[in-house]
Structure 1
Amino acid sequence: MAKSIHETLTYPGTTVDAVAALAIDPEFRAAVASYQHAIRSSLAVSPAPGGNDVTFEYAHGTERVPSFAKKLVGEEIPIVQHEAWRGHAADVLITIPGKPGDMKGSITLAQNGDDVVQTVDLTVKVGIPLIGGKIEDLIAGLLAKAARAENRVGVKWLAGDRNA
């Protein structure tokens, strides 16, 4: 079984190049992690043919995680998000090191008049019998919230507010 996430987010009054540049900006990614109350984060960017390969690593505490899941993840949830940006689209692979399952999908950016529309499509798969579906739902919800949080910080960031 798998859980799908589809988020359509808008960045008003900007360009796809400006939004795409956020993916490789260490200060922006640190601001997103801080906004989401991550306990640590790092960003690595490597040039690749036609774009960049990005690895965004961050960790969340488990104080808001249901008890059935807390037993599986421990004291923190480390997340490794690999993005292969080629032009204005990225293939995405998100893993939680040492845990079964992954999140795969894509991010696309498109100009729509004066705005940029970002589409995030991910599929969450967790290979744990009996409770895998519950964990997929939990992770899907967290990833959807993370995408919306990144959008909120990005809109402010592009408007010049670096204190998001």
Structure 2
Amino acid sequence: MSRSTEFRATSTHPVDAVFAAMVDRQILADRLAVMGGPGAGILEYEKVGDGAKYRVKHGIDAQHLPGVVKTVVGNEGIQIERDETWTRAGDGYDGTVGVALPGLPARASGAMRLSPTPGGSELVVRVEVSVNVPIIGGKIEETVGREIVRLLEMETDYTLSRL
């Protein structure tokens, strides 16, 4: 079983400026320090041609987890590892994202597109969340999907505030 989630954000900034801020190592490190949770940081980072590839870690303290998620993880917090790869594609950028929760029966993966618009740029992220837990897996997928959108909203706001 899996669940799809989509996130969209627009900006008045041009696509190249938004992309540069999104993959800037210092902005990424600062963003993780502000909102990444316990143990957050950059695990790997590489500029690749006109793109970038990186792996980051987020931490979520158990007190901030929804009850349905706590039924699986208990009173321990969770660690999330996220891989992103971005490449130049025409007049914008295409990306892939993979999310792993080490030790948990959950994962997410998806595609991202940063495109120019007449007034600036638009970021679209589509993610498929899969939780392999009988009976309550669908509820956890729904909760994780909402949390992904909330996290992407905060990250996007933070990154755009740095432009």
Same fold (TM over 0.5): yes
CA drift of 1:85 comes to: 1.0
CA drift of 1:52 comes to: 2.2
In the TM superposition, 1:110-121 aligns within 5 A as 110-121=115-126
Q: Does 1:99 align with 2:98?
A: no
- Which residue is 2:62 aligned to? 62
Distance, in Å, in 1 between the alignment partners of 2:106 and 2:67 is 19
- Which residue is 2:87 aligned to? 86
CA drift of 1:140 comes to: 0.5
Q: Which moved more, 1:66-75 or 1:100-109?
A: 66-75
Structure 1 portions without partners, runs of 5+: 159-164
Distance, in Å, in 1 between the alignment partners of 2:105 and 2:154 is 25
Q: Does 1:109 align with 2:108?
A: no
TM-score, normalised with respect to structure 1? 0.85
- Which residue is 1:33 aligned to? 32
Distance, in Å, in 1 between the alignment partners of 2:2 and 2:129 is 6
Q: Which moved more, 1:14-23 or 1:113-122?
A: 14-23
Distance, in Å, in 2 between the alignment partners of 1:47 and 1:59 is 25
Contact 1:33 1:40 in 2 (8 A): no
User: What is the letter of the counterpart of residue 76 of structure 1?
Assistant: G
- Which residue is 1:15 aligned to? 14
Q: Which moved more, 1:111-120 or 1:70-79?
A: 70-79
Structure 1 residues 51 and 27, CA gap change in structure 2 (3 angstroms): closer
Structure 1 residues 42 and 84, CA gap change in structure 2 (3 angstroms): same
- Which residue is 1:127 aligned to? 132
Distance, in Å, in 2 between the alignment partners of 1:90 and 1:84 is 5
TM-score, normalised with respect to structure 2? 0.86
